[in-house]
Amino acid sequence: MRVVVFVKATEDSEQGILPSTELLEAMGKYNEELANAGIMLDGDGLKPTSQAKRVAFDGASRAVIDGPFAETRELVAGFWLWEVKDMDEAVAWVKRCPNPMPGPSEIEIRPIYEMADFAENLSPAAAEIHDRTRDKLSGA
């Protein structure tokens, strides 16, 4: 299964404080371990939301909102894309991560929907409608 692993933002990351040399080194080692285990597909750090934009949808209207955004704990400061066997494995790997922030911080693991997740709920007919809709949306 694939999971996205979110490093949640903190006051420090939102202020654009860059990781220390020690942390960069520890993270580098950790990333190497992830690569050695063959689970890392992608990953990057994100700039603070002072450089971000949001687009708010309401019916036909689209409003652009400039960062920074307030709810720091809900923001994301970085991510990985991993291929793991199950959530237990993902948790075990996250526990090995050096604390990505100078103070207390959180990492969130979100499984990606796979085909099999829909298999039980999707009758062949429903699946076909679904596919057709997707075809139209994608302009195929």
Partner 1 sequence: MATTEVHRAIEAVFRIEQARLIASLARMVRDIDRAQELAQDALLIALGEWPRTGIPDRPGAWLMAAAKRRAIDGLRRDKMLARKHEVFARESEEASDSAIAEIEARMDDDVGDELLGLVFTACHPVLSGEARAALTLRLIAGLTTEEIARAFLSNAVTIAQRIVRAKKTIACAGLAFEVPRGAELEARLRSVLEVIYLIFNEGYAATAGEDLIRPSLCAEAQRLGRMLAARMPEAAELFGLLGLMEIQASRLTARIAADGSAISLTGQNRARWDQSAIRRGLAALARAEDLGGADGFYALQAALAACHARARSVGDTDWRRIATLYDRLRAVAPSPVIDLNRAVAYSMAYGPEVGLALVDEIAEAAALRNYAPLPAARGDFLFRAGRLAEARRQFEAAAGLSQNARERAFLLERAIACG
What's the CA gap between 54 and 18, in Å, rounded?
Answer: 23
Q: For partner 1, give the closer residue by CB, 59 or 124.
A: 124
Provide the minimum distance between the beta carbon of 112 and partner 1 in the complex, in angstroms, as a whole number: 11
Q: Confirm or reject binding of residue 65 to partner 1 (CB under 8 A).
A: no
Q: Confirm or reject binding of residue 112 to partner 1 (CB under 8 A).
A: no
Q: Which residues pair with 5 in a beta bridge?
A: 80, 109
Q: Hey, what amino acid is at 69? A: F
What's the CA gap between 70 and 35, in Å, rounded?
Answer: 34
Residue range at the interface with partner 1 (CB under 8 A); choices 4-12, 21-29, 49-57, 122-130: 122-130
User: x/- contact string, 33-52, with partner 1 (CB under 8 A)?
Assistant: --xxxxxxxx----------
Q: For partner 1, give the closer residue by CB, 66 or 135.
A: 135
Given its phi and psi angles, is residue 16 left (phi above 0), alpha (psi -120 to 50 degrees) or beta? Answer: left
Q: How many residues does the chain have?
A: 140
